[in-house]
Chain A
Amino acid sequence: MCLHINRFLFTIFILFTCTNVYAEGGMIVKVLNDDGKPVENAVISAKPMDGEIIKPTTTPPTIIDQIDKTFIDYVTPVIVGTKINFPNNDKIRHHVYSFSPAKKFEIPLYPPGKEPNEPVVFDNPGVVVIGCNIHDWMKAYIYVLDTPYFAKTKTDGIAVIQGVPVGKYKVEVWHPHLKKSQEVMSHVVDLVKGKDGSVSFDIKVVDELKKRRAPNSFGGDNYR
């Protein structure tokens, strides 16, 4: 029932907002979970099936902030080659690291109010999980993509990929809590001139494995 209501609202949303607004096409993606509820922080990416990827000449630098011992944003999709900085907006030091094969790096303890001298360049596609060595519960995901066409769902489970040239695309969805048994979900979307493409995904996500948050903090759950 909930699923049907959400689909209905999504259709209404498309009718009012997506009538070939852009020169290139746009893709509106809706991501729901098993219960029909919108899924936030799902990364939607589109790869052209009949042409080369035109990567942008420059990639704007991105930041992942640290506020109140929490990485912000939790999920950050970027294109390969993006430089990300990790400013420290807490009153304490942080030690950012990643052991992910896509990008293994470490920014040892650095003082609050500053950011490292050099941003980290994410030059390999894949998922990079970052953490803080002294705050076990701090965790964030950087999804490094080799396509410029991507977007992240908001709390309403909707993501809009803009500026997508006309053509056929393989649209994929990724989420940090995607169930292991879940096969990679993709849809082929044919984006025609004068009309935005739309697609929806029903994915299975699991609860996040979290560490205990230290006392006098907030937002942390007990480790299951």
Chain B
Amino acid sequence: MCYFRSFKGRLVFYFFVLVAIVQVASFFFIDSVSRHIASQSIAEDLEVGARVFDRVMEGRKKQLYDSTFLLTMDYAFKNSIVGSDTETLNSIVMNFKARINADIAALISLDNQIMSDTLNPDLVGKKYCCPEFIDMVDEYGEAFSIVMQAGKYYQLVGVPILAPDPIAWLTVGFQINGKTVNDLKNLVLSNITILSHGKDGIWTVVASTFSDNLFDELQKNSNIKEGRVQTVDIDGEEYVSLLKQVEGNNDFTLFALLQRSMSNALKPYYRFRMILIAITITALLFSILLSLWISKTVTTPVRTLVEGVVRVEYGDYGHEVNIKQRDELGMLAEAFNKMMRGLEEKKKVHDLLGKVVSAPIAHELLSKQVELGGEEREVTIIFSDMRNFTTLSENRSPVSVLNLLNVYLTQMSDIVESYGGVVDKYIGDAVMALFGAPLGHADDVNRALYAAIDMIKAKDKINMDFERQGLPKIDIGIGINTDIVVAGNMGSTNRLNYTVIGDGVNVASRLEGLTKEKTYNANIIISEAVYKKADKTFKTRFLGEVSIKGKKQLVSIYALDTFIS
């Protein structure tokens, strides 16, 4: 199994393989069918050739008969037969034989005695060899046969010499030899071999269009069955062959073996096959180009979409993918762009919300269904407040004051968030921060204390900057309390904000107010609950017990020094 790292490569490969399978399967199917048709056509041609052979043989017989018959109608010939001497008769018959280019001729008397014989004149006066042949001539007015005389085979015709009743019989024969089969070959377009099958079972080649050296090969092939087209191997070459009976008598039967060279006959098929191969290869090459084009048309928009997704991954929602297609990919691109626009809008909302509220709160608001209500949670609340803000504002423009305040609040907020807390709200120059809502940590109290220490340190840094700018120094007081409060969305159904409410919040605010007391000399005052839950590594000092508005019991308070033991 091949694995491709690129979708395009996989697409090209699978498309090519699919087309190749179809093409190769088509090739083999067409090739197989074509070869079958070609073979069938060869067999049919051979059978047609066999029929032509029959017709030609019949035509030869008719021509032989017509020529012979015409001779017998010669009045002088008839007249000569009656009462002529043997020499004269021989001369007449020889002359007649020459007239029609026959190979043998014989004149037989009505009592079956040979009156003249061109092949063997010594037989004159003797009984004719084949009285049954003469009987057929007598009965039917004509007779045909294949005879063997002096080792040669002849196509023989016998006709009566009518005057007007038969006065003698004339037999004329044409030898079956190489010329005969070569003449026939030109008509039936097949190699022809005339074979004699003797009653002793021996096959003899009478004549053949094959060259002499194939005679032996041919004679070895004794498995050829009559009347059935079959393929035989002769001297290493395949021949489609058809054996058919021509004529027979008591001594032998003549067969014609029609053969066509398979390779010659299949030449048109091979030409077709070459064209088929060329078409298949061209189609395969074309399929590669096509698959490349198709994969390009598919993968280019996919790649564009991937690039779009990567941009999304990096927070770039402003880049739309540009795919001008009306298909599924086009629809996907459009949906992607819509999604991008949605995400961009959401990000804007998120960013804006993050600026209005802390990031975790913004996340809490965005991730859940925003609805009124809250839950009880243990939350550590920081309240910080800037002192001398009035002095800082004096003789300064509101914008300049706001800028200074923003510098201060930004640093305070950053510190809170760096410890996992959230700025719940700004109240003028005061900051209310939460640790434990909306996300809680096991060490929220410690986190709040560290944040408070850093805030004091940040204040010192700000003061150093202010000093360089000739601005008055600022001071801050921080109150920290931890308690079970209600955290959630409060307000109206149309306008709400995430916050916490409860006594614990008030206590933190009161503690921040206590930092103003000179006697405590503390920038950070924590409640007893905080003290108890905080690590003991924080340096604290007990400030006493105080009464806090809204609390019936006195509350122990501690100052948190800004360094850790």
Residues of chain A whose beta carbon lies under 8 Å from any beta carbon of chain B: 97, 99, 104, 129-131, 133, 136-139, 180, 206, 209, 211, 223-224
Contact = CB atoms under 8 A, between A and B. Distances in A.
Contact of B164 (A206, A211, A224): A211
A206 B166 CA distance: 14
B167 interface: yes
Contacts of B138: 180
Nearest to B140: A224
B75 A139 contact: no
A136 B166 CA distance: 12
Contact of B75 (A129, A133, A137, A224): A133
B165 A209 contact: yes
Contact of B166 (A209, A223, A224): A209
A209 B167 CA distance: 13
Contacts of B19: none
A209 B164 CA distance: 9
Interface string B177-202: 00000000000000000000000000
B84 to A, nearest CB: 12
B78 interface: yes
Given A97-B75, A139-B164, A224-B141, 12 more contacts: A97-B163, A99-B163, A104-B82, A129-B163, A131-B162, A131-B164, A136-B73, A136-B162, A138-B164, A139-B165, A209-B141, A209-B160
Closest 4 A-B residue pairs measured CB to CB? A131-B164, A139-B164, A99-B82, A129-B165
Nearest to B83: A104
15 contacts: A99-B79, A99-B81, A99-B163, A99-B167, A104-B82, A129-B163, A129-B164, A129-B165, A130-B164, A136-B73, A139-B164, A209-B160, A209-B162, A209-B165, A211-B162
B140 A131 contact: no
A139 B166 CA distance: 12
Contacts of B139: 206
Interface in B101-152: 138-141
Q: Which of A104, A137, A223 has the most CB of B within 10 A?
A: A223
Contacts of A180: 138
Q: Is the interface of B mostly helix, strand, loop or mixed?
A: mixed
B335 to A, nearest CB: 96
Contacts of B160: 209
A139 B73 CA distance: 14
Contacts of B166: 209
Contacts of A206: 139
Contacts of B81: 99
Contacts of A139: 164-165
Interface in B60-87: 73, 75, 78-79, 81-82
A137 B141 CA distance: 14
A99 B78 contact: yes
Contacts of A137: 164
Nearest to B141: A224
Contacts of A136: 73, 162, 164
Contacts of B140: 224
Contacts of A224: 140-141
Nearest to A208: B165
Contacts of A138: 164
A136 B160 CA distance: 13
A180 B79 CA distance: 24
Q: Which of A104, A131, A139, A209 has the most CB of B within 10 A?
A: A209
B141 A223 contact: yes
Contacts of B163: 97, 99, 129, 131
A186 B130 CA distance: 33
A138 B141 CA distance: 17
A39 B164 CA distance: 22
Nearest to A180: B138
B290 to A, nearest CB: 73
B71 to A, nearest CB: 13
Q: Which of B82, B162, B164 has the most CB of A within 10 A?
A: B164
A223 B78 CA distance: 18
Contacts of A130: 164
A206 B165 CA distance: 14
B113 to A, nearest CB: 16
Contacts of B164: 129-131, 136-139, 211
A211 B161 CA distance: 11
Nearest to B168: A99
Nearest to B164: A131
A130 B165 CA distance: 9
Nearest to A106: B79
A105 to B, nearest CB: 12
Q: Which of A133, A137, A139 has the most CB of B within 10 A?
A: A133
Nearest to A206: B139
A180 B137 CA distance: 14
Contacts of A209: 141, 160, 162, 165-166
A40 B139 CA distance: 21
Nearest to B81: A99
A138 to B, nearest CB: 7
A224 B159 CA distance: 11
Nearest to B160: A209
A191 B75 CA distance: 47
Contacts of A131: 162-164
Nearest to A137: B164
Nearest to B78: A99
Nearest to A140: B164
A104 B405 CA distance: 167
B67 to A, nearest CB: 15
B80 to A, nearest CB: 10
A138 B167 CA distance: 16
A137 B166 CA distance: 13
Q: Which of B75, B160, B165 has the most CB of A within 10 A?
A: B165
Nearest to A223: B141
A181 to B, nearest CB: 11
Nearest to B135: A180
Contacts of A211: 162, 164
A142 to B, nearest CB: 12
A133 B139 CA distance: 23
